[in-house]
Chains A and B, each alone.
Chain A
Amino acid sequence: MITYLSNNGDTVLAALRQHIVLALLPVLIGFLVALPAGYLGVRYPWLYHPLINTCGVLYSIPSLALFVFLPVILGTKILSPLNIVVALTVYTVALLTRTVADGLRSVDELVVQSATAMGYRRFRRLVDVQLPVALPVILAGLRVATVANISLVSVGALIGVGGLGQLFTRGFQLFYIQPILVGIILSVLLAAVADLAIVLIQRAVTPWTRFQTGERGPA
């Protein structure tokens, strides 16, 4: 495997770089779309169920089918990385919209009321109180979306763009185990590192959650 890596270092590195971009760019875009979408589902309660159901349907579309059909809908070339980005963004939005909505709904109504009573206006209350308190739920969803995206990118190799997935297809074509092993190890590592990074971010930005189920002092 060492020999394979030293002979094909550039290829592997390029595949890894592409994998990271293809997986994480949709997380970023998806998060930015899901934030307002999820908020609308909470702000207008009648919208919640239609929104959640739509997300459920979107998420159930098989990824390969989406990769193949997107060029038809978007008018892109079949080999364009844009197809993968758009497809994974769709999945991320589907996953995170629900997460954001449920996170905001998990915020204690008394906390929202007391924020209102103290003179918060709607937007600042969302940014200063509701979103921070919903953050643990939202970040948990973000972890799922990130890891799912990292594994889904490989499927894109079947239509020619797939980051580390291309190492799998190459291995299969050449009946050669080394690139497949390298691909598997690197994508698992990538998922683990991304997951850990989010956990560390969560610890840093929500220090208060450590006490949520902790012991209470005497009255």
Chain B
Amino acid sequence: MITFDEVVKVYPGSTAVDHLSLELPTGKTTVLVGPSGCGKTTSLRMINRMVGPTSGRVLIDGRDVAGQDEALLRRGIGYVIQHAGLFPHRTVLDNVATVPMLLGSSRRERRAAALELLERVGLSAEFAERYPAQLSGGQQQRVGVARALAADPPIMLMDEPFSAVDPIVREGLHREFLRLQKDLGKTIVMVTHDIDEAIKLGDLVAILRQGGHLAQFGTPRELLEHPVDEFVAEFVGRDRGLRSLSFDAADDLPVRPVTEAVGAGLVLDEAGRPTGWQTAAGLEATGGTFRTGDSLRLVIDLAIGSPAGIAVRVGPDGAADGIVHHHDLVDHLAARRGRRAAEPSA
């Protein structure tokens, strides 16, 4: 657990962090998000002593970081920086093996481990002997993540790790981040200015406002459904109601048999896989399907997008095994509203 205890950071002429108290749980991803000048990067850097607090304490598992040797502390904390910050004069493999080298592991050992990590972040062995300048931005960012993971630190700090790549690459990196974190269960602290990224990747999100004040700290769902004030409501965005549907699984929706959709124009191939919708204008692409476990938001999106107002569910083999009709969605949302009104708010 990482604890911020009444942390203040004052620079000449401005306060970057103002009496911040936070507890970041072990094994979870906590995202610090806010507009520029809210002190999020400063707060992140106080964890590995890149920045020292003016007053207050930062503790890792109860130990004040201020009393620890800077270099040794940092070798035990992974750090991913914006634009990756790779060493241009070292090959990809040697970049990844940096911290194990500082920790004194043998050349053979650390290079073997680095090779394994490269694979883990989705880079094949052919990249090992290349230099960073030979990689794309997305590939560099993957190497940056592998480098931070190399010594298997329990804590990872990530400063805008995905902001320098284009949206499509970022989407892929997000997916891999979630997959990796599911396997690894690190204590991750991430800084971003992008609230959507925060909600997507964070188990917990701390929204900071200008001058280093904590506006709200909670799960993405809490922030979307119960913002404490105007600032948070505005910051999480106007369509927060719709986005909060992402946290509801679609599993308790009333599912009808596929045959009903076939009557409405759904075309299936011999294996029962949906290929499109028959409309007056011809065959229209399905535009996507959902599976058990997907979110309510996805199902609503599919139903709106389909010409028949129907979202198609597929089984593990890709064959359609049920449909959700938009009439049923309206009823389901009404029932959901009734249930939520009965719950005490968080």
Binding site for B on A (CB under 8 A): 108, 110-111, 113-121, 129, 132-133, 135, 206-208, 211-212, 214, 216-219
Contact = CB atoms under 8 A, between A and B. Distances in A.
Contacts of B73: 119
B133 A118 contact: no
B89 A219 contact: no
A116 B134 contact: no
B89 A208 contact: yes
B98 to A, nearest CB: 6
Given A117-B50, A118-B102, A219 B165 contact: yes
Given A110-B82, A117-B81, A118-B102, A208 B50 contact: no
Nearest to A125: B71
Contacts, number: 85
Contact of A218 (B86, B89, B136): B136
A119 B82 contact: no
A116 B50 contact: yes
Contacts of A110: 81-83, 85
Given A110-B82, A117-B79, A118-B74, A208 B133 contact: yes
Contacts of A212: 88, 133
A211 B86 CA distance: 14
Interface in B77-116: 79, 81-90, 98-99, 102
B169 to A, nearest CB: 5
A111 B48 CA distance: 17
B89 A206 contact: yes
A111 B84 CA distance: 9
A212 B76 CA distance: 31
Given A117-B81, A211-B131, A133 B136 contact: no
A119 B136 contact: no
Contacts of A135: 89
A113 B137 CA distance: 19
Given A114-B79, A216-B135, A217-B136, A121 B85 contact: no
B239 interface: no
Most buried by A among B72, B90, B168: B90
B30 to A, nearest CB: 18
B343 interface: no
Contact of B87 (A115, A217, A218): A115
Given A115-B87, A118-B99, A119-B71, A217 B139 contact: yes
